[in-house]
């Protein structure tokens, strides 16, 4: 339950893969939002604060997703494990 309460956005066009990731992350205590493409993913990020995004690199309708605030520390390195 390390992820308790932290919100992750999963963006993937494959519904089965989204469901699998969502189930696994919820078991770890994360609050999970999902989206089926880059446009929907960006829309979710505008609506809700997320700590991390897991996205397929070849999404249909792909746009550049903004990085969640606080994703990088001042030295440029990731704060995520």
Global pTM reads 0.71
C-alpha to C-alpha distance for 33 and 18, rounded to whole angstroms: 10
What are the residue ranges in the chain where pLDDT is below 50? Answer: 71-81
pLDDT given for residue 56 in this prediction = 80
In a domain, 49, yes or no: yes
Is 73 part of any domain? no
Antiparallel, parallel or unpaired: β 31-35 and 7-11: parallel
48: containing domain = 7-55
CA distance 47 to 23: 22
- Taking only the tens place, the pLDDT of each residue in 52-72 is 989 887 766 655 555 555 544
Instruction: Give the pLDDT of residue 4.
Output: 74
Total domain count for the chain? Answer: 1
Tokens 């991390």 -> residue:
52
CATH of the domain at 22: 3.40.50.2300
Q: Give the pLDDT of residue 7.
A: 93
């Amino acid at each position: 339950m390390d992820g308790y309460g932290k919100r992750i956005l999963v963006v993937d066009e494959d519904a089965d893969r989204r469901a699998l990731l969502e189930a696994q992350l919820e078991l770890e205590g994360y609050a999970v939002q999902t989206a089926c493409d880059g446009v929907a993913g960006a829309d979710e990020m505008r609506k809700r604060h997320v700590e991390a995004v897991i996205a397929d690199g070849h999404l249909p309708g792909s746009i550049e997703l903004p990085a969640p605030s606080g994703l990088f520390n001042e030295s440029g390195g990731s704060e995520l494990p």
